[in-house]
Amino acid sequence: MRPHRKTGPPNPMSIKANDVDLFHSASNKALMQLLGQIDEMFDNYANEKTNMIEAAGIEELCSDLKMRTDDSKMKGKRQGLITQDEWRRGMKDLEATSLEKLVKALPGLEREVRRPLIFKDFYAFAFQYNLTEELQKTLDIYSVCVLLKIVLRSQFRPQVDSFIQFLQIQKEYMVLTLDQWMEFYRFCNEISFPELDKYDENLAWPLLIDSFVEWLRQNNN
């Protein structure tokens, strides 16, 4: 008679390997299903020839969502274009696999964007997103004024309206840099308006902002 083999606890390494295999199999299946649903949405708006969502597709999507074209979370590297990878990342961040889920995610997205640290990043992105040429570093005054109304006016209306008025009548600056764009946001957050009592020209403010404050003080006087 063969000796009876003692039974002991299962080999932990064996269980771990099996569990990992099962986990990977289930995860891959779930991931493929998720990507399939996201890609199906993408195909509804993408140009078949370029495999990108172009301006017409973005407008159609925003119309379906009843939102403005500037609210998009898909941070496209090229203005007015969303690649499939960018679409996938955006939809995964929003946990949206259908138009209905995307609509439900929008209020939370708006609240998230309004958080100061996140909004600062979004504000910078809004400028960079509108740099349409590969080596472009500046935005023309007209585009800056339009963008300020869209991105910042709801939070700092008096400052934005005054700054737009100043930009439209001054003759020294034809374009704005990202640094100037960001410093105006800093101005809105740090300087009391219209009092301007905390503004110090000796601090590291761009000449553009110095000129804006000088113009404001002249008008106030």
- What integer is the mean pLDDT of 139-147? 94
pTM passes above 0.75: no
E-strand stretches of the chain: 52-53, 82-83, 138-140, 175-177
Which of 5-19, 25-39, 179-193 has the lowest average pLDDT? 5-19
pLDDT score for 31: 59
Please name which of 90, 84, 21 lies closest in space to residue 54, comparing C-alpha atoms.
84
pLDDT score for 30: 60
Beta partners for residue 175, in sequence order? 140
Which of 33-47, 58-72, 87-101, 202-216 has the lowest average pLDDT? 58-72
Q: What is the distance, to the nearest Å, from the Cα of residue 142 to the centroid of all Cα atoms in its chain?
A: 21
Please name which of 72, 121, 124 lies closest in space to residue 96, comparing C-alpha atoms.
72
pLDDT score for 29: 64
